[in-house]
Chains A and B, each alone.
Chain A
Amino acid sequence: MTKQTPPGAFERIPAETVRPDPILPAVREVEVIDTDFHFLPDWETMRRYMPEPFASAFTRFPPAGGEYGADLANTKSGTGQSALGEARTAQDVLRVIDEIGVDTVIISPGFQRPQGMFNEVAVTALTVAYNNYLREEVLPASDRIKGEIMVNQRDPAAALAEIERNAHDERFVSIYTEFGGNYTQTGIAAYDPIYAACEKYGLGVTCHAGTFWQNWSPLSVGARTWTELFGISTMGTCMAYMASMIMQGLFDKFPKLQILIKEGGYWWLPDFMLRMDEFYLGHPGDIQFTERKLEAREKYLARMPTDYILENFRFSTQPVILPGPKEDLAALMRLCHGEDLFCYSSDWPHQTFDPANWVFEYGDAVPESARRKILSENAKALFKRL
Chain B
Amino acid sequence: MEDNMRKAFDAIRAEDALKQTTLSHLKEKVFDPTPKSKKIFNTLKPRFYARMIVATSLVVLLLFVGSFSYNSYFTAYAYVDIDINPSIGLSLNQFDRVISVSAYNDEGQDIVSAVDLEHKTYEDATKLLVDQIHTAGYAQGDDALTVTVQSPDATKQTHIIEALQKDLSSCVEQHMVSNVSVFPVDSSTKMASHNLNVSPARYMAVQEANVVDPTINMEGCRNMSLTQIKQHHTNVINAQNTDDTLPIGPTESCQNMHNGSSHHHD
Genuine A/B complex? no
